Amino acid sequence: MRTAPFPPLSGMALASAMALTAGLAAPLQATAGPSAQALEQGRKIAFTRKLGNCLACHHIAGGTAAGNIGPPLVAMKQRYPNKAKLHAQIWDATVANPETPMPPFGRHQILTERQIDLLTDYIWSL
């Protein structure tokens, strides 16, 4: 007679196992990435002249009348494997390069922290 690989769980053990499973699933959900809606909000910030206005200086696929002052925004995960570094660049590019023409969007409160988070997610997805 074959036995099951694991004995049946009691109510308390089952509850503990479910809690453990939920705890393990939470980090996977957190790393799933931004939603399509969040990426679209970030794209709007990048393309809107009164907000990020990234197209004034950068080429971004899908944008029109792109500038050429800054580098094209492509392969951003390869250029910025650490997304926090990209966030810091958008927040205040003068930290890495005091002579940069890029405005310090966070330090000068051009964008809110939430807008910078959305913009970072979008730019990092390019």
| Structure confidence at residue 14 (pLDDT) | 44
| Structure confidence at residue 27 (pLDDT) | 44
The residue with tokens 């570094």 is: 85
- The structural domains of the chain, with segments of one domain joined by +, span 36-125
SS3 content of the chain, % helix, strand, coil (to 5): 50, 0, 50
Residues of the chain with pLDDT under 70: 1-31
| Structure confidence at residue 118 (pLDDT) | 98
| Structure confidence at residue 66 (pLDDT) | 86
CA count, 13 A, side-chain hemisphere, 123? 30
Judging by beta carbons within 10 Å of its beta carbon (0-12, 13-18, 19+), is residue 102 exposed, middle or buried?
middle
Superfamily of domain 36-125: Cytochrome c-like domain (1.10.760.10)
